[in-house]
Chain A
Amino acid sequence: MKLQKLLWCTIATVLIIAGGALLPLFAQENLDAEVDKLLGGKSAVEERSAEKSAGFLDRTSMPNIFVAADMVGGKDLTAQRNSPEALTPNGVKVRSAEVGLFGGIDHLALGTVNLAVHEEEGKYFVELHEAYFEFNTLPWNLYAKLGRFFLDVGRLNSIHQHDWHFTTTPLVHAMLFDVEGVFDQGGEVSLLMPWQWYQELKVGFFNGRSWGHTHGEGAVKPGPLVTARLKHFIPIYGELGTQFGFTYIRYLVDEEGREIDHTGGADLTFKWQRGRYRSFIFSTEYWYRYEVRPDAVQDNTKHGFYSYVQYQFHQYWLAGFRYDYYAELDVRSSSGSSIDRQSFAQLLWVTLRPSEFSYFRITGERSDVFGTELNYAVYVQADFILGYHPAHRY
């Protein structure tokens, strides 16, 4: 039996070697025949719809599916915990698990549904994050989104939390938006400007019954929540480019529409990338809010920003730093004088990203919220994604 095997192996090897030596000669002489044979096969026109590429926008009946899990552990190094971040101060938890479905609905639109399982005070519950149409076949350079989704305001709000480059929410977002961003029901229409360079104007109208990530119904308002955004991109040199935008949001707070929040923002990003080995990002967002309060002693003014840099120094390793600032201006103190209530935070992190589908991050955070005691904390984060990975936006 063994001998027979050996014999067969020898014959096979001899044949392979002989074939290998003869094949190139044979190949050259039959090149014309090979070309004819190849050209006799299916062309792109015939095979266009046969591409089984899950990453491409297709109109097959099966949607693309992804599941993302986000785990965070935190440890306070000082006694006091003032961070607005809704993390369990000491311990590890699955912050959220998200299931997303995405695909072509019909010849006119795409559909997306994102369900998130959240932890709040030890209990998990399922929440509908997003469910929307995307009309990507509209005329006149228009594009529209309809349904429930994270508002496209500034940079961070519309990026899913598991895709953020850092673990905790910037102070200004936690205070003026929500720890996980603001979503609402409504629609957005955007126009790609007909220039040779990229400029996009977007306006949105939403229910505006509540603000942020609340789970209640909210109250019916006399007018919608309105958003407007102007976004630009300018290539600088090679793989370095910059994107910047301006945003305005109008939100009616009370049922009579007398209390109004006007929020304006500017965001700026520089990005550079060399293949899979090196990348750099600098990104910053500034937000300013003027709260009209006819019944209060005075109107409120709040503002803040975050800026961060992240450098990829190895195929798998990245390091970053973020600076947060937030202030409520001209606040009446107990003595009656007017003061600015300020908050600061600094974060330093290292991320290990072995593939597009997982990462591990350790963060050190120093925060000083409204002039109370300095707080130091350490976070560890582990995230993975199964299935389809949506492309990274610029």
Chain B
Amino acid sequence: MKRLFAIAVIGMCAVANGAFAQLRVVTTSTDLASIAKEVGGNRVAVESLTTGNTDLHYAQARPDYIVKLNKADLFVSIGLELEAGWVPLLLNQSRNPKIHRGAPGYCVAYAGIDLAEKPTGEITRQMGDIHPYGNPHYWPDPINGIVIARNIKESMIKIDPAGKDEYEKNFHSFKDAAVKKTKELMALMSPHKGKEVVVYHTEFVYVLRRFGLSQGMMIEELPGVAPSPAHAKKVIEYIRARKVPLVLVSPWSNVSYAGKIAKEGGAKLLVLPIQTGSVPEAKTYLDMIDTSVRMLHKGLTQ
């Protein structure tokens, strides 16, 4: 009986110890969660607040997210106001100063990234209101994925210095995998260099830039602003005149509208799953990159 009790106590301590040692990481997006898992390995338990098909600009401030943030050791967000409509309120209510802005448990993933579409000059709301500090959809470029991983790694080391060696090791293998994948996909995409595509919302600019494609007109009049009939007509004329082969749209944007424009202009519509978990094949971050870029390749080939 005594022995049994001792075993039970030891077992419980081990369980408690194991649970305690795991760093609880909460991210706003599935891509950040996937990268955090790669970097953290067994030392972390990672959870994303949103799913692979959430429009991160317009997620809801759900109170169950407060519970998740309340228990987090590290909070990772995309930043640049992408989540400004829902994250500040949740952090404020989290009762967890460890992850408040400025605390070691608060990690903005964009630090060090070469931002596209950075506004120059005066910023006014008449330019649309959702990309005020540059384009925040930077994760679909796998090289930016490495920078995100580096940022997460450094935050993890800061909170859990004992895991430094493991985080460094995991980070380097993720970095190598990402570079290898990028080179492979760049070779695949090399025949399409310089081709131009039309987009619904400007959320593909980083992946296009990486693989040598260029972004033509936006169907949205301004980021977040639906097209007027006059603007839609201009886009259709643009597609026809320049023989643009593809119109890109994300699953959470206005897919049917983008489809109409593509059809009228004579281009193909491609719904690009640029978030981890958006489609079943995009299980991890690098799977998502692979799936998206291969879809682009296929769309441009046929």
Residues of A within 8 A of B (CB): 20-21, 23-25, 27-28, 31-32, 34-35, 38-39, 41-59, 110, 134, 136-138, 141-143, 192, 195-198, 200, 231, 233-235, 238-239, 241, 243, 271, 273-277, 315-316, 355-357, 390-394
Contacts and interface: CB of A to CB of B under 8 A. Distances in A.
A28 B183 contact: yes
Contact of B89 (A192, A233, A391): A391
A31 B154 contact: no
Interface of B: 51, 54-55, 57-58, 60-64, 66-67, 70, 79-81, 84-89, 91-93, 95, 97, 100-102, 104, 106-109, 111-114, 125, 129, 133, 143, 146-147, 150-152, 154-155, 158, 175, 179, 182-183, 186-187, 190, 193-194, 210-212, 214, 224-226, 252-254
A242 B224 CA distance: 28
Contacts of B111: 41-44, 46-48, 50
A391 B64 contact: no
Nearest to B128: A355
A38 B114 contact: yes
Given A34-B143, A197-B64, A276-B224, A355 B129 contact: yes
B179 A31 contact: yes
A43 B114 contact: no
Contact of B113 (A38, A54, A233, A241): A38
A154 B275 CA distance: 37
A276 B225 CA distance: 10
A58 B66 contact: no
Nearest to A51: B108
Contacts of A24: 186, 190, 193-194, 211-212
B146 A394 contact: no
Contacts of B106: 48
Contacts of A271: 60
A391 B109 contact: no
B53 to A, nearest CB: 9
A34 B146 CA distance: 11
Contacts of B51: 238
A390 B75 CA distance: 21
A138 to B, nearest CB: 7
Contact of B133 (A52, A141, A315): A52
Contacts of B91: 56-57
A55 B84 contact: yes
Contact of A136 (B85, B97, B107, B155): B97
Nearest to A315: B226
Contacts of B92: 57, 110, 134, 136
A319 B155 CA distance: 46
A275 B155 CA distance: 30
Contacts of B109: 44
Contacts of A46: 111
Given A43-B111, A315-B226, 4 more contacts: A38-B143, A44-B155, A56-B79, A58-B101
B88 A356 contact: no
Contacts of A231: 63
B95 A21 contact: no
B151 to A, nearest CB: 4
Contact of A21 (B58, B87, B100, B194): B194
B264 to A, nearest CB: 20
Contacts of A273: 58, 60
Nearest to A40: B112
B201 to A, nearest CB: 10
Contacts of B212: 23-24, 27
A38 B147 contact: yes
Contact of B102 (A27, A49, A234): A49
A353 to B, nearest CB: 12
A369 to B, nearest CB: 36
Contacts of A34: 143
The 4 closest A-B pairs by CB, nearest first: A55-B84, A44-B151, A24-B212, A275-B55
A391 B85 contact: yes
Given A198-B63, A392-B85, A48 B150 contact: no
A47 B114 contact: no
Given A39-B150, A47-B111, A48-B108, A243 B63 contact: yes
Given A57-B101, A273-B58, A392-B61, A45 B155 contact: yes
B216 to A, nearest CB: 14
B179 A192 contact: no
Given A198-B64, A391-B61, A43 B88 contact: no
A255 to B, nearest CB: 38
A56 B254 contact: no
A200 B66 CA distance: 11
B112 A192 contact: no
Given A48-B108, A391-B84, A233 B64 contact: yes
Contacts of B154: 43-45
